[in-house]
Structure 1
Amino acid sequence: MSEKELAQHIIRLVGGKENIASVQHCATRLRIVVHDKDKINVKEVENLDKVKGSFFNAGQYQIILGTGLVNRVYDEAMTQLNLAAESPVPEDTTSKPVYGNKFQRAIRMFSDVFVPIIPVLVATGLFMGLRGLLTQEAVLGVFGMTPDDIPNQLLLFTQILTDTAFAFLPALVCWSTFKNFGGSPVIGIVLGLMLVSNSLPSAYDVGSGAAEPLVFFGFIKVAGYQGSVLPAFATGVLTAKFEKWLRKRVPDAIDLIVTPFVTLVVGIVLALFVLGPILHTVENVVLYAVEGLLTLPFGIGGLLYGSFGQLLGIFGIHHILNFLEISMLANDGWNYLNPIGTCGNVAQAGAVLAVAIKALSAKTKQVAYPSCLSALLGITEPAVFGVNLRFVKPFIMAMIGGGCGGFLASLLGLRATGTSITGIPGTLLYLNEQLPFYILVNVVAFAVAFVLTYFFGFHSKMENQA
């Protein structure tokens, strides 16, 4: 079945064009908001070729397609629905249903903003990992070299690859926020660049004591917001809404001149003198609190997050972690959540493989075996929603496996150079002295989940009960 045919079938089975309020997608799932969910034929959707499962979450009907395919099906769906794939998400909720409570909608808002910039940060993390590998003495020694033999120009080139995205992170966040809240993305980019202007003391220099912040009005300390996420996000939300409000009131004849000018002035004043100082402090408190949890003595933090962090995806609030991981990396270059979270993903692979081996149903095996590989590559939705959560006990065994791996990762002090990739691809974030330990914790998580599921978490009779 081609992507075009798959999109046609999905549109038909969710109630047709007239039942679709909006369509979006993340890394693996097509996310559809409908007017009447009773018109969705869930069983037939899940029986479509290339569909790995589906579920309702936070008011959206989410269809699991997998990486790559979801982008192509999304483009085909948008074409058939006569919608612009790059148009901002509409703010007018009077024309479409609003699903989920306020907390769920807030998490979905975070997701819509941060998902588009994750690919760039993934690439940056991989660059960091490769640079760490190629600059190790042991690796250079194979070629008869030492770190002193690396040309300065090459080091500068690698710094361009690894530092740019985080140095200009506020510009990426403001761009995506404006795009999602109906503002002009180009204004968002410029506003974000203002937050890291060379005219301001760098946040990194101020943090290290190499520079002093500027002082306005005798008490407001101002510095650049390199690496900050929350100030740029809040500034983008409020300023995008302000721009939309302004465009409705400024005459068309002078809109081109007045609206961008006033929007940028109001936005930068809000950012530097009001939102920035307050939210930067809040951001640091949140980061310290999370890092404090993860570094609790005796591996307790890793045990808790490795076990229960897997529940975040079920409740649709896992995207809040994007903010935390990005902030951690921007703050000191390390991601403390990734090594523990990856144990949870790999544990799901162990549990689903045990189900695949013991299952009698050809349909269960057909879904479970590919889901194991997918989870090992960092995509757990097919394993979680298609198999483990369906039988319940395998998911619980995966939580235990993830907790064991997370416990060990916490004791070993593992930390990643990037974000958003786990399992086998995540190895690239540990191309340093941590690599053997990264492999060890994942093997432990996989093995514990597999053994527990095989002997205690699944039997073939459960297939008739699910």
Structure 2
Amino acid sequence: MDYKQVASEILTAVGGKENINAMAHCATRLRLSLKDEGIVDEKALDQMDAVKGTFSTGGQYQIIIGAGTVNKVFAAMSETTGMEASTKADVANASTKKMNPFQQFVKMLSDIFVPIIPAIVAGGLLMGINNLFTGKGLFIEGKTLIDAYPNIKGLADLINMLANAPFVFLPILIGFSAVKRFGGNPYLGAALGMVLVHPALLNAYEYPKMIAAGKDIPFWDIFGLHIESVGYQGQVLPILVASWILATIEKNLRKVTPSWLDNLTTPLLSLFITGFVTFLFVGPLTRTAGNYLTDGLTWLYEAGGPIGACIFGLFYAPIVITGMHHSFIAVETTLIADMAKTGGSFIFPIAAMSNVAQGAATLAVLFITKNEKLKGISSAAGVSALLGITEPAMFGVNLKLRYPFIGAIIGSAAGSFFIGLMQVKAIALGAAGLPGFISIATGKWTSYFIAMGIAMVVAFVVTFVLSRTAKYKDAE
């Protein structure tokens, strides 16, 4: 492959160097912040053998090239244009300027929660492994693995502790990430998170039990103010709002504090003031709001039943196109952290239905099309989507041909209907696809696999049928 030639053709198609604000690349894609996406020659890009697909999301124009090749094409582009490589954050920041306020809010949530996903996923998957040890009748009738093999109890206890840690100390993770995003010192954010889960406080998981039992809640009496001494383990909203307050106070103090005094007084005042107002009213208010949010979402899922899940499944992929699905990370984290009350997240299994349906629709194109390039893209993208990575399938194949996307969202709706009917929920985050069963409550594995089968079969069949209609017969 002539990488310089490919780079030159891509540059011409996107409007030249003059149309690029910033550029970077990830493992498989070129990420471009363009001044005007309207002048991009998508037809020319589609006809290039090196290009596996294109899509625009979050103000970024992304060109799928593939692992091992994208870095060489990018190097050739950088050499041709004389533009230095930007970081992905630089491209994202340049793209943010073109977003409306709601899109910026969604991106803010994404910036905060995406960095902590590995910790949440690790804890969640360990929780799934722990359920293998403690699930009665899962492997041995009427017994758990621990009942049958008592010598593994210590291992199960260790795994359970490791699994719970990211959720118990969730405010520390969010505090670090959120304060960094808001422009403050992330270590102060982590310290604030530690304050909210300090062992001297009444544990957040015990708080509702003591309220229900009518027991007295410990409190501080400060200048006549009655402030409850309660922790915020597993809570999301309190630390989010408190992190914004902390970062705002810190940034404003640094503007007016002399440099010789700054490092001494700014961290002290920022942490003290934020901690005080958080325990006084920010924490109680946001904890109540968080409870209403989780209760409301759980009620909608349970009350809406299969119809509600079906509608959500139908619109999940269109939501992904807008980028709004990034805001679901915060909601899912809240639902899973409060699992004792919510039972887990209903969003994850529905996302999995959408992903496998996209994969099945793309694999249907593999059998339908006579275009060799499209066959190559469909095979790799289809398998990738079944494993939970849908961008190549959705943007590289299904949306371009349209009828596979229609087949996919119908398949997703069908699978989600069964998910809602059987009340399947996830107890962890993970790969929302075939491997996602480990994130599902063990008693619902069979229902999860049946739902995936429904989603895949319906998506494949509908895509195949639509390809034979006059409207889409010549879609390629």
Check whether TM > 0.5.
yes
Matches within 5 A, 1:211-222: 213-216=217-220, 217=224, 220-222=227-229
How many Å apart are 1:393 and its aligned residue? 2.6
> Is this contact kept in 1: 2:428–2:440, CA < 8 A?
no
Partners of 1:353 and 1:29 lie apart in 2 by 21
Name the CA distance, whole Å, in 2 between partners of 1:117 and 1:67: 25
Q: Counterpart in 2 of 1:336? A: 346
**What is the TM-score normalised by the length of structure 2?**
0.83
Verify the 8 A CA contact 1:352 1:369 in the aligned structure 2: yes
The letter for the 2-side match of 1:117 is: I
Aligned counterpart, 2:292: 285
1:248 alignment partner in structure 2: 255
SS in 2 for 1:202: coil
Q: Is the 8 A contact 1:397 1:457 kept in 2?
A: no
In 2: Cα distance, 1:337 partner to 1:161 partner: 24
Distance in structure 2 (CA, Å) of the matches to 1:238 and 1:465:
53
**Change in CA separation of 1:359 and 1:140 when aligned onto 2, cut-off 3 Å:** closer
Which among 384, 390, 404 is matched to residue 394 of structure 2? 384
Q: Secondary structure at the match of 1:309?
A: helix
Q: Secondary structure at the match of 1:422?
A: coil
- Preserved contact between residue 28 and residue 379 of structure 1 (Cα < 8 Å): no
Question: 1:200 and 1:74, CA in 2 relative to 1: closer, same or farther beyond 3 A?
Answer: farther
Matches within 5 A, 1:344-363: 344-363=354-373
The match for 1:441 is 451
Structure with the greater alpha carbon radius of gyration: 2
Match of 1:155 in 2: 156
Aligned length: 461
Corresponding position: 1:318 with 2:325: yes
Structure 2, unaligned runs of 5 or more: none
Larger mean Cα displacement after TM superposition, 389-398 or 443-452? 389-398
Amino acid at match of 1:303: C
The answer on whether the counterparts of 1:350 and 1:450 sit within 8 Å (CA) in structure 2 is: yes
Select the residue among 248, 271, 282 that pairs with 2:278: 271
Does the alignment pair 1:60 with 2:68? no
Q: Aligned partners of 1:335 and 1:418: how far apart in 2?
A: 8
- How far the C-alpha of 1:320 sits from its partner, in A, is 1.2
Q: Tell me by how many angstroms 1:37 deviates.
A: 4.5
Give the distance between the partners of 2:423 and 2:73, measured in 1 at CA: 41
Is 263-272 or 447-456 further displaced after alignment? Answer: 263-272
Counterpart secondary structure, 2:206: helix
Counterpart check, 1:108 vs 2:107 = yes
How far has the Cα of 1:87 moved from its partner?
9.5
**Unaligned regions of 5+ residues in structure 1, if any?**
none
For the residues of structure 2 that align with 1:398 and 1:110, how far apart are their CA atoms? 27
Displacement of 1:39 in angstroms is 7.7
Change beyond 3 A, Cα 1:7–1:411: farther
> 1:405-416 alignment to 2 at 5 Å?
405-416=415-426
Deviation string, structure 1 residues 262-305 (Cα, Å, up to 9, x no partner): 11112212322232111221112121121112112552221111
* Structure-2 change in CA distance of 1:352 and 1:82 (3 Å): closer
Question: How far apart are 1:171 and its partner, in Å?
Answer: 0.9
Partner of 2:265: 258
Within the candidate set 239, 245, 252, 1:238 is matched to 245
Q: Which stretch has the larger CA shift, 57-66 or 10-19?
A: 10-19
Give the CA deviation at 1:237. 2.2
Aligned-pair distance for 1:204? Answer: 0.4
Instruction: Tell me the CA shift for residue 453 of structure 1.
Output: 1.0
Aligned pairs for 1:118-267 (under 5 A) are 118-138=117-137, 141=140, 146=147, 149-150=150-151, 152-209=153-210, 213-216=217-220, 217=224, 220-267=227-274
Could you say which residue in structure 1 is the equivalent of 2:439?
Answer: 429
1-structure distance, mates of 2:442, 2:99: 43
For residues 13-70 of structure 1, give each alpha carbon's deviation from its aligned partner in whole angstroms, at most 9, with x where no partner exists: 8655994358697x98665434554686766766778764332233232445789999
Q: Deviations over 1:377-417 (max 9, x none)?
A: 01111111111122223222222211111111111121112
1:198 is paired with a residue whose SS is coil
Secondary structure of 2:61 counterpart: strand
1:395 counterpart = 2:405: yes
Kindly provide the amino acid, as one letter, of the partner of residue 154 in structure 1: L
Q: Deviations over 1:163-182 (max 9, x none)?
A: 10001111111111122222
3-state DSSP of counterpart to 1:417? coil
Which AA in structure 2 matches 1:309?
A: Y
Q: For 1:262 and 1:69, how far apart are their aligned partners in 2?
A: 51
Alpha-carbon deviations, 1:144-179, whole Å to 9, x = none? 962671555323311221110001111111111122
| Equivalent pair of 2:126/2:160 in contact (CA under 8 Å) | no
What's the C-alpha RMSD, in Å, of the aligned pairs?
3.9
Distance (whole Å) between structure 2 residues aligned to residue 68 and residue 356 of structure 1: 24
The change in CA–CA distance for 1:83 and 1:339 in structure 2 (over 3 A counts) is: closer
Contact 1:397 1:449 in 2 (8 A): yes
Q: Which residue in the other structure is 2:414 paired with?
A: 404
Q: Structure 1 residue 295 and structure 2 residue 302: aligned?
A: yes
